[in-house]
Amino acid sequence: MASSANSNPVPKLYRSVIEDVINEVRELFLDEGVDEQVLMELKTLWENKLMQSKAVEGFHTEEQAALQAAAHQQAQQAQQATQQAQAQQVLLPPQQQVTSWQSTRPTVTSAPQQQVIVQDPKILQHMSATGMSAAATAATLALPTGVSPYHQLITSQGQILQFVRAANGAQYIIQPQQQMVLQQQVLPQMQPGGVQAPVIQQVLAPLQGGHPQQTGVIIQPQQIVLTGNKVQQNAQVMQMPGQPGQVQQIQQQVQQVQQAQGGAAPGPPQQQAKQQPPMMLQVDGAGDTSSEDEDEEEEEYDEDEDEDKDKDGGEDGQVEEEPLNSEDDVSDEEDQELFDTENVVVCQYDKIHRSKNKWKFHLKDGIMNLNGRDYVFSKAIGDAEW
């Protein structure tokens, strides 16, 4: 307990300052006619920046972790959230799709059929809300490959097969049955230029008797790679109705989508290739002045000085070698920590004393940022030789 009594006073201090400031300016905000919500936004922004800076340890992290845990628990109480959580689980570890699918099977079977249908758009929305980039969601909605995001195939049995297109461009199909046999087909990559080929997985249900309950299991593609703003991977997960006829229909559907995606996939990669050629190689020597001329137009002053210095060094020093080597850096900056922060102490002085070259500092009420972290003191005493 003694160690916790000496724990860092900085987070508490900062929190108290934030509270004080917010409370004091509330009146100012109201006088100006600014909404209270803006005040809360200010507080949130402030706290977030403090957390992001990592200069303070454990700042609000416990509170926020508790809030997030509570929010998660509330969400999980709804049945919809269970599927969403499974979707998230399936989304996050793409390489573990088989195991995650298997592990999520038992809980999913309890989901009634109707809820599966209704919850698909919500899964989509939830996926988009879980931090998928706006570009990815826009790409999804814009249907770059010409495949609609939400296919519904009504089979002869009256069951509805649903293609769900997630924000990643991966297509998920909700499986209606427990017993599944996974068959995965991985297409070779179309181009090495960073565009991932569509990875299509076929899930074939066993042809045994159908189960009335639908499982809301969602299968993930193995590889999800975002190339720039483009999402080229499409994974298809088929809903399995458990009937042989339906399986065939599903296979046909998959093939159709595969063809559509296969046709679409080479298109964008070719466009990418076309955009690449304009890069030029410089074949002539290193001493060209074309770029320097361009720079000189903007920063004549600096360029002239540098050129003069280089010429002088080249003439006086080694004439044979390039002037670049003649003035090597001698700095020892690499010994410092990786932090770029300049270590700063902001404080007030009680007394500064000097005797010959021996200085003594008596400081108070200071905030220090050392090696990226914040410290405070009420008194600081220091010695230094000049």
Taking contact as CB under 8 A, which single stretch among the options 39-47, 66-74, 90-98, 320-328 is the one that binds other proteins? 39-47
Report the residue from 157, 185, 318, 371 that binds other proteins according to the rule CB under 8 A: 371
Q: At what angle do helices 61-77 and 79-91 cross, to 10 degrees?
A: 120
Is residue 368 part of the contact set for other proteins (CB under 8 A)? Answer: yes
Is residue 157 part of the contact set for other proteins (CB under 8 A)? Answer: no
Distance of closest approach, residue 378 Cβ to other proteins, in angstroms:
4
Is residue 359 part of the contact set for other proteins (CB under 8 A)? Answer: yes
Report the residue from 53, 133, 179, 222 that binds other proteins according to the rule CB under 8 A: 53
Is residue 254 part of the contact set for other proteins (CB under 8 A)? Answer: no
Distance of closest approach, residue 330 Cβ to other proteins, in angstroms:
15
- Please answer whether residues 175 and 217 qualify as being in contact, where contact means their C-beta atoms are separated by less than 8 angstroms: yes
Is residue 17 part of the contact set for other proteins (CB under 8 A)? Answer: yes
CA–CA separation, 232 and 170 (whole Å): 9
Is residue 58 part of the contact set for other proteins (CB under 8 A)? Answer: no
In terms of Cα–Cα distance, which of 209, 198, 205, 202 is closest to 237? Answer: 202
In terms of Cα–Cα distance, which of 367, 376, 366, 370 is closest to 339? Answer: 370
Q: DSSP 3-state assignment of 33?
A: coil
Beta strand 181-186 with 150-154 is unpaired
- Please answer whether residues 371 and 385 qualify as being in contact, where contact means their C-beta atoms are separated by less than 8 angstroms: no
Is residue 374 part of the contact set for other proteins (CB under 8 A)? Answer: yes
Q: Which residue has the tokens 């770059």?
A: 144
Phi, psi of 317 (to 5 degrees): -85, -135
Q: DSSP 3-state assignment of 361?
A: strand
Distance of closest approach, residue 3 Cβ to other proteins, in angstroms:
9
Taking contact as CB under 8 A, which single stretch among the options 85-93, 116-124, 189-197, 366-374 is the one that binds other proteins? 366-374
Tokens of 167: 């924000």
Distance of closest approach, residue 340 Cβ to other proteins, in angstroms:
12
How many residues sit in the footprint of other proteins (CB under 8 A)? Answer: 60
Taking contact as CB under 8 A, which single stretch among the options 139-147, 163-171, 306-314, 357-365 is the one that binds other proteins? 357-365
Distance of closest approach, residue 68 Cβ to other proteins, in angstroms:
21
Is residue 364 part of the contact set for other proteins (CB under 8 A)? Answer: yes
Distance of closest approach, residue 335 Cβ to other proteins, in angstroms:
7
Name the β-bridge partners of 148: none
Task: CB nearer to other proteins: give 117 or 376.
Answer: 376
Q: Which residue has the tokens 């005797």?
A: 355
Q: How far is CA 311 from CA 293, 300, 314, 323, 325, in A?
A: 17, 16, 5, 7, 12
- Please answer whether residues 136 and 166 qualify as being in contact, where contact means their C-beta atoms are separated by less than 8 angstroms: no
CA–CA separation, 136 and 251 (whole Å): 27
Binding to other proteins (CB under 8 A) within 317-356 occurs at 335-336, 342-350, 352
Binding to other proteins (CB under 8 A) within 261-280 occurs at none
Q: Which residues bind other proteins (CB under 8 A)?
A: 6, 9, 13-14, 16-17, 20-21, 24-25, 28-29, 32, 34, 38, 41-42, 45-46, 49-50, 53, 55-56, 335-336, 342-350, 352, 359, 361, 363-371, 374-386
